[in-house]
């Protein structure tokens, strides 16, 4: 098979990410008490799983995106991006980012038909995030397209 190469973050990238998080918190500073910052402890995790890739997005309750990770982002290439193993690794990286931000409780919204759906949920739960709810938001066609007219020859 060959070596599995997963991209590791350097110290500089971790520091840049930390600065982005601090800037996001400064935007949410309480107006009445200037020294107190609002901490986010609850959020939503959107898992978009297709046949080719798995993308997990972490947002706050209002829907503002805090962090996101995809299988291609962490070093998987080609058909390996759509595997359950890649989805579990994506979830691990996202949990690390969530812990840095301070989120420990999430609502999970799953979308798509890929094989990484369940393994991503299991990995999020196993890494220490408290799961409030799991919801499937995969779009389902209810009546479909209009059929073509009858052919007249």
- Could you give the CA distance from residue 93 to residue 71 in angstroms, rounded to a whole number? 10
Residue 36 included in any domain: no
What's the total number of domains in the chain?
1
Q: Which tens digit of pLDDT belongs to each residue from 41-95?
A: 899 999 999 999 999 999 999 889 999 999 999 999 999 999 999 999 999 999 9
Question: 109, 132, 105: which is closest to 39 by C-alpha?
Answer: 105
pTM: 0.73
Residue 35 included in any domain: no
Residue 18 included in any domain: no
Angle (nearest 5°) at CA 61 between 57 and 64: 55
Q: Which tens digit of pLDDT belongs to each residue from 96-135?
A: 999 988 899 999 999 999 899 999 999 999 998 999 999 9
pLDDT at 37: 59
Residue 114 included in any domain: yes
Residue 28 included in any domain: no
The CATH number of residue 62's host domain is 3.30.420.80
Residue 37 included in any domain: no
Residue 84 included in any domain: yes
Residue 58 included in any domain: yes
| Residue 100 phi, psi dihedral angles, 5° rounding | -65, -40
The residue range of the domain holding 49 is 43-136
Query: Residue 74: helix, strand or coil by DSSP?
Result: coil
> Do 104 and 95 meet the contact criterion of CB atoms below 8 Å apart?
no
């Amino acid at each position: 098979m060959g070596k599995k190469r997963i991209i590791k973050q350097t110290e500089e990238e971790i520091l840049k990410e930390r600065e982005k998080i601090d800037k996001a918190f400064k935007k949410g500073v309480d107006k009445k008490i200037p020294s107190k910052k609002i901490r986010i402890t609850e959020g939503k995790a959107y898992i978009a799983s297709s046949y080719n890739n798995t993308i997990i997005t972490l947002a706050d309750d209002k829907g503002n995106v805090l962090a996101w990770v995809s299988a291609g982002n962490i070093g998987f290439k080609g058909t390996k991006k759509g595997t359950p193993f890649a989805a579990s690794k994506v979830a691990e990286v996202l949990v690390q980012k969530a812990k840095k931000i301070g989120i420990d409780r999430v609502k999970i919204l799953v979308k798509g038909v890929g094989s990484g759906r369940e393994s991503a949920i299991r990995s999020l739960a196993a890494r220490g995030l408290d799961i409030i709810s799991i919801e499937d938001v995969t779009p389902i066609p209810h009546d479909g397209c209009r059929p073509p007219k009858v052919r007249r020859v």
